[in-house]
Structure 1
């Protein structure tokens, strides 16, 4: 069978004719010429005895050489047991509607992080800040390592006059993005290995292990501040609950009155609000009951213990400024209150496993498998000791302990 040449195609292109004709090139490839002289490439094949036709594009936009290459690919698909029409549709969908960088990262956030990580909102916020504005719309399969490095370097070095250098954030974003791409790859959602060889030290630096423990005087200042009128009720009550229970900020910020059982005297943090995705059961000390009941009267209509639901970024920012407001010489964060409680309780002789339970940490090793005790009596005793210690530090000359809700 004779092969086609460009001169054959040009001879019929844009020439009027009475009817449609097909010029065959062999191997299933043909050029369909319409009565108006429009030339369109077609690949013809059979599956189970039924003839099928696949349009490959118009000449000369699709050249003769390109059409032959496309027909060769169709024959390979057919030999492997695939319908060329379906395979081409899937391939075109990947090309015309590719999985973008943003698609891939959002897939990880929604399918994994939002369920498994309490701070998924933070991951998304960092992607929004450091990744999406720059390469978020890029097809993931076409990105190269240098595209990502430009984002990480921008975060690490900062932008003069706009953003401060954030080497720790750069490393943090890289680690999350790397895990996201692996998650997408394992699930066959999208394939990319451009971050596989990168480490935190390649793009930024690791977060230093924090060891800030507030002194007795600083803790006394925080406890007095939580009972004063020098700040908004929301933050005073937040501080009081954080320091009294050693809870995470998220647990208090999201806490609703439905979690508090004043008959059983327990506060149950639901799995959804727990970093470990396990519910946390804490006893309510008798000494806090009057303050909590008065607080409930003030905020119960909202459903939230703190009276409203603030965004985590706003709470975190306010918490970062408290040390300066209290005129402390060294910075501390709201999370450092947990570390301070843990350290002080251990110093006071409370057993480490009881402290770990109070903090909502998962026990390791064999204890995690076989020991499901909540140690409620031990935790209540520890909290009683802790509250008494706070009062003694904050009000050393007073014999009466007053728990007045901030409102």
Structure 2
């Protein structure tokens, strides 16, 4: 008896026939007086119909019950190919598997393999949407750079060279269409590696073609940024907002980013139910926080009228800024601001958060208060035992910061101060 009661079929006194190509050719398509069966031994043989149609078959037993599976017809399947299939079936039998089920699963996998796009989307739907902050950006990168090139390839047949060709196009750019983006190439590699590992662990699809690649092989890592806007650049931005230059959405987004030091997504996703204008508190929910923790910020008196105005204007939409825009769209719009303001050195929306941090520290605000305003966790033992929100300290810091901004943009003697700032 084989493993788990599974064994090849054998008949007592089974004729010791040996199949040959010449025999099959002679029988193929030739009418027969009756159904004929020829055996090659150990369960392998052929059935020849009255019309001369030849079908390969494999017989075996499971717990004493006879089983038969059709392997394919001759000559579409050659005798050698049929014997190879039977060898595989015998291996499955030896491992305790039903060959018919294993072959059916194998054929389904071959005929409908998981594609590169399906694998990446499996990771997005089952992991990234709930655990990655900038999932919209990742989806856009895949749609733009990966899917058109190799998205339709069967994942398990996609080689490292196919992936590298994609990354090279991203790194070098496409002449007349896209600029070189070596950092983006590195980011896409890291996301794709995580996606393929996720699929592999879950046995959805298996590929190790990216395992040995690192960001520097296909592009470059994103460098740690240290861009902080100067007082003149802050003035230019705030003055532009006062003059109502640019899109309404971006004006109010930038103003609130600079005032609160918030992450872009915290304001991009913000809804009015987060803003308690009776208690003057803005509560960022876990779902909108990068750290998966609630962030509570006081609303300074100078900012409250802005929130009230936005509510009157956008209350029906539910969103503070009137609409839900994708992270990619907002990021691209933010990247154009420095050009519109004619700043020599480029800056991004996230640099407003770094500017907020630097300026508050320069104003003498305690570092732990700044960290709380940023939504960072306190380090060491404080992170475990200290649950204080430091609301009075936060409010004092934000009030001081708002006064500083107001003085910068609307000084008593604006000409003298602006000239002195520009001179500095």
TM-score by length of 2: 0.90
Residue 200 of structure 1, aligned match among 204, 210, 215? 215
Q: Deviations over 1:7-58 (max 9, x none)?
A: 2211221112243222111111121112221111111111122211111111
Q: Does structure 1 residue 10 correspond to structure 2 residue 25?
A: yes
2:194 maps to 1:179: yes
Give the total of aligned pairs.
399
Inter-partner Cα distance in structure 2 for 1:217 and 1:240: 16
The aligned runs of 1:342-353 (5 Å cut-off) are: 342-353=357-368
Cα distance in structure 2, aligned partners of 1:339 and 1:14: 81
Counterpart in 2 of 1:288? 303
Q: CA deviation at 1:77?
A: 1.0
SS in 2 for 1:339: helix
**Matched residue of 2:393: which SS?**
helix
Contact 1:116 1:277 in 2 (8 A): no
Superposition misfits of 4+ residues, deviation over 6 angstroms: none
Q: Which residue of 1 aligns with 2:390?
A: 375
- 2:332 partner SS: helix
Aligned pair in 2 of structure 1 residues 80, 318: CA closer, same or farther (>3 Å)?
A: same
Q: Among 78, 84, 91, which residue is 2:106 paired with? A: 91
Quote the residue 2:42 is aligned against: 27
1:398 Cα offset (Å): 7.7
Residue pair 2:92, 2:98 contacting (<8 A) in 1 also: yes
SS of the aligned residue for 2:336 comes to: helix
Shift of 1:247: 1.1
Deviation at 1:370, TM superposition (A): 3.1
Q: Which has the higher contact order (CA 8 A, sep 6+)?
A: 1
Question: Counterpart of 1:53 in 2: which secondary structure?
Answer: strand
Q: Which piece of structure 1 moves more, 64-73 or 269-278?
A: 269-278
1:218: which partner in 2?
233
* Residues 171 and 203, structure 1, Cα contact 8 Å, conserved in 2: yes
| Contact 1:18/1:35 (8 A) holds in 2 | yes
Structure 1: stretches of 5+ with no match in the other structure: 400-407
Taking the aligned partners of 2:350 and 2:143, their CA distance within structure 1 comes to 24
Q: Which residue pairs with 2:171 in the alignment?
A: 156
Q: CA-to-partner distance for each residue in 1:296-323, whole Å, 9 max, x for gaps?
A: 1111011111112223222222211111
Q: Taking structure 1 as reference, are residues 106 and 84 closer, same or farther at Cα in structure 2, changes over 3 Å only?
A: same
Cross-structure match for 1:122: 137
Q: Determine helix, strand or coil for the equivalent of 1:250.
A: helix
Q: State the 1:4 CA deviation.
A: 0.7
Are 1:270 and 1:279, in contact at CA under 8 Å, matched by a contact in 2? Answer: yes
Distance in 2, matches of 1:134 and 1:77, equals 37
CA distance in structure 2 between the aligned counterparts of 1:51 and 1:184, rounded to whole angstroms: 38
1:307 aligns to what?
322
